[in-house]
Amino acid sequence: MPRRGKKMLNSKRTPILAPPPAQKEYQIKIVTEQCDGCELCVEFCPCDVLEIDKESFNSRMLHYAAVIDLDACTGCRQCERICPSVSIFVLEKDIAQEDSS
């Protein structure tokens, strides 16, 4: 016997209107000297925006995080929240405001 509510969970709803175009772009600021290269931001980013730069070192001889696909960033700020050394910041760039100026 199917469990109650299962049909509801599997149902797919189609939006009546197309979603509005994105009004925001994001920039990721990484303080490379502060970054420990722990990879937490890489692991927790749901969009594969970040990677550890294995070619470069900071002054503490640690690899640091780098942005590899900024267009994929949704601005969810998971990276910012998870970073133990507060080395990564998500900055919003308001496209709508830039267009009107």
Enumerate binding residues for ligand SF4 (CB under 6 A).
28, 30, 35-41, 45, 47, 49-50, 64-65, 73-79, 82-83, 85, 87-88, 90
Nearer to ligand SF4, 9 or 71 (CB): 71
Cα–Cα distance between 17 and 58 in angstroms, integer? 48
Q: Least distance (Å) from ligand SF4 to the CB of residue 80?
A: 6
The string of DSSP letters for 43-101 reads: HH-TT--EEEESS---TTS--EEEES-GGG-----HHHHH-TT--EEEEEEEHHHHHH-
Nearer to ligand SF4, 25 or 75 (CB): 75
Q: Least distance (Å) from ligand SF4 to the CB of residue 8?
A: 29
Nearer to ligand SF4, 33 or 96 (CB): 33
Nearer to ligand SF4, 2 or 56 (CB): 56
Q: Least distance (Å) from ligand SF4 to the CB of residue 83?
A: 3
22: buried, middle or exposed (CB in 10 Å: 19+, 13-18, 0-12)?
A: exposed
Cα–Cα distance between 39 and 58 in angstroms, integer? 15
